[in-house]
Structures are given as C-alpha cells and as structure tokens.
Amino acid sequence: MATKRHPVTRVLVNDIEIRRKRLGPIERLTAELLRRDGNTIHDIAHMLGTHHSVICNALRRRPFDADQLQLI
C-alpha cells in the first residue's frame, strides 16, 4: 500500500488503490486463507479494499471444501 502526505497537515496517509463493494469466490477464499493465517478482520478488509462487515459476512458462509480448492 502506497503512502503519501496530506497536503495541509503533512500526516502520512495510506493511498486507497482497490475498492470492492462485494467479494467474489476468489476474494472470499483469499479472505478465509488470510484469516487462517492469523490476520485480523480489519486488516483483511484493508488488504481487499472493502468494509469489515463484508469480510465478516463472507467468513460466515460455508467454507470452501477441498474439491472447490482444486477447481481454483
């Protein structure tokens, strides 16, 4: 994630490069894997460019099984 300085206050802020309103199957799988690796819901939301409630909803759904992982 790129950082830049706010033009008035000179505080470092993160540049938002990706914005998602919903997650597809691949993004959902990525969220599950990131969560399994120990990342927080908020960090996953920032990584995928979405709101933390979208991540929570995606993680509540039935997890992917081994057959689906092989298809991907």
pLDDT digits (tens, 9 = 90+) for 24-41: 999 999 999 999 999 999
Which two structure tokens, joined as six digits, stand for 63?
């997890």
| Model pTM score | 0.73
pLDDT at 49 over 90: yes
* Residue 62 resides in a domain: yes
Contacts of 31 (CB under 8 A, 6+ apart): 23, 44, 48, 55, 58, 59
Query: Domains in the chain: how many in total?
Result: 1
Which two structure tokens, joined as six digits, stand for 59?
């993680």
* Residue 52 resides in a domain: yes
Which residues constitute the domain of residue 65? 23-71
* Residue 12 resides in a domain: no
> Do 40 and 7 touch, CB atoms closer than 8 A?
no
* Residue 14 resides in a domain: no
When pLDDT is cut at 50, 70 and 90, the band that residue 70 belongs to is: low
